[in-house]
Amino acid sequence: MGVLELLPDSAAIEDGELALGGVRATALADELGTPLVVYCEQTLRARARAYREAAPAATVLYGSKAFPNLALLALFAEEGLGADVSTLGELELALRAGVPGERIVVHGNNKSDEELRRAAEADVWLVVLDAEDEVERAAAAGVRRVLVRVTPGIDPDTHDAIKTGHRGSKFGLPPEQALPAVARARELGLDVQGLHVHLGSQLLDVSPARFSVDWLAGFAAECRSELDWTPAVVDVGGGLGIRYTETDAAPSIDGFARTIVDRVERAWTLQGLPAPKVVFEPGRSLVGEAGVTLYRVGVVKRSSDTTTYVAVDGGMSDNPRPQLYEARFSCLLANRAGEAASGTYTVCGKHCESGDVLVERARLPEPVRGDLLAVAATGAYTLAMASNYNAVPRPAAALVGDGAARLIRRRETLDDLLALET
Ligand SMILES: Cc1ncc(COP(=O)(O)O)c(C=O)c1O
């Protein structure tokens, strides 16, 4: 199977070519250009349903930072999901996508007054307090319902840059500050509905999340004895990892969500606390595997006895994850998907840095100029983190399903870039 098992659910090989959602990759590239991030509707809906079915009593919010996009937010809203937003921009997108305010949770480690006011005005379900001074500022901005984000001091096994629940994190409050924050927020008349914890992203092991639930139950018990207050809502954040390479192993959504829900029930019962409402905020595990980026191959260059570069028409500007987190990806030639690999290649981008490498050791049939290269599992934190490095316009995104494609983010143009210049 190889790379194919990392592709979206609808991926198929038709006459030796990759097809996604019933549309040939070559047709997508011809019609919409490259680089192009293609999202598979079937996969997006299946991942959303997997969370909903595994945890029917929980609220599931799309961690929209993974790819803040109107079409995806609207699609997830149709599936009964809400949105976790962390900036004014993400909040506006969620509102314009039609996500009801009562299914929006507002995050951010440095919320502006404008962000707090807009959250209050939109009457979002919850604002997650992330700093001591935010308690007063949220109350002054007219925010009503809040959670307090607490950092349990748990260090999960993932890249340092995407850990968030450890001691010394820039996010949330350590327990000795979180408890007074709950008390102060209540004094100010805020409806403190519960607690939030998010350990980090791309977690391939469920145990730290399980442990964080036990920890939270202990903290909730402390809140009861110190403040005579117990959390009615427990938001466990996102974090579930996905497979980027054939050797990765990731827990299923079903297994992960059931484990957390069961653990909350058990840990809360053990503490003698009333069962809380559980909230999940998945980003990567909803959209990561649904996305595939198509690039056009340009220069193929043998630079040493051991390295042959295959340069594509994008790179670190549309996918900075290899530079940021040493992330690894997998790829195939979409227009020659039936051919056996004949060599090992380094897939690089077109940017002015040697670190602009998308796939380190790709096994491919010998690529030639004009081939179409498909990089798997690029639906999360790629286009969302895209830049205009080297004055390269950002790519388009399309949604495919039932044999049709729909543009969901248009390609940026040079005119868009020039419009910013004075
Ligand atoms: C508070 C919060 N919730 C949810 C997420 C989504 O995480 P993931 O994409 O790993 O599921 C993040 C991402 O870091 C986050 O910071």
**CA dihedral sign of residues 297, 298, 302, 307:** negative
Ligand 1 and 238: CB distance under 6 A: yes
Are both 75 and 109 inside the same structural domain? yes
Q: What is the C-alpha separation between 407 and 223, in angstroms, rounded?
A: 49
Distance 373 CA to ligand 1 centre (A): 29
Q: What is the C-alpha separation between 238 and 285, in angstroms, rounded?
A: 8
Among 227, 254, 286, which residue terminates a domain?
Answer: 286
Among 286, 313, 343, which residue terminates a domain?
Answer: 286
Q: What confidence score (pLDDT) does residue 325 get?
A: 86
Candidate from 65, 163, 256 with most ligand 1 atoms within 8 A of CB, to mutate: 65
CATH classification at residue 228 = 3.20.20.10
Are both 77 and 212 inside the same structural domain? yes
- Report whether 271 contacts 221 (CB < 8 A): yes
Say how many domains are in the chain.
2
Among 241, 269, 286, which residue terminates a domain?
Answer: 286
Are both 129 and 241 inside the same structural domain? yes
Are both 246 and 392 inside the same structural domain? no
Known catalytic residues? 352
Q: What is the C-alpha separation between 321 and 14, in angstroms, rounded?
A: 30
Q: What confidence score (pLDDT) does residue 201 get?
A: 85
Are both 277 and 129 inside the same structural domain? yes
Are both 121 and 179 inside the same structural domain? yes
Candidate from 107, 198, 234, 321 with most ligand 1 atoms within 8 A of CB, to mutate: 198
Q: What is the C-alpha separation between 287 and 315, in angstroms, rounded?
A: 20
pLDDT averaged over consecutive 10-residue blocks of the chain (422 residues)? 91 97 98 98 98 98 98 98 98 98 97 98 98 97 98 78 78 94 97 94 88 95 97 96 95 97 97 96 98 98 96 98 92 97 97 96 97 98 98 98 98 98 96
By C-alpha distance, which of 133, 107, 135, 110 is closest to 119? 107
CATH classification at residue 356 = 2.40.37.10
Q: What confidence score (pLDDT) does residue 1 get?
A: 58
Are both 185 and 323 inside the same structural domain? no
By C-alpha distance, which of 140, 149, 110, 133 is closest to 233? 149
Q: What is the C-alpha separation between 195 and 217, in angstroms, rounded?
A: 10
Ligand 1 and 284: CB distance under 6 A: yes
Distance 282 CA to ligand 1 centre (A): 6
Q: What is the C-alpha separation between 21 and 37, in angstroms, rounded?
A: 13
Q: What confidence score (pLDDT) does residue 171 get?
A: 85
Are both 236 and 375 inside the same structural domain? no
88 lies in which domain range? 41-286
Strands of 86-155 (E only): list them: 104-106, 126-129, 145-149
Ligand 1 and 282: CB distance under 6 A: yes
Are both 201 and 337 inside the same structural domain? no
Are both 64 and 204 inside the same structural domain? yes
Are both 301 and 282 inside the same structural domain? no
Q: What is the C-alpha separation between 36 and 400, in angstroms, rounded?
A: 12
Distance 201 CA to ligand 1 centre (A): 6
Are both 313 and 167 inside the same structural domain? no
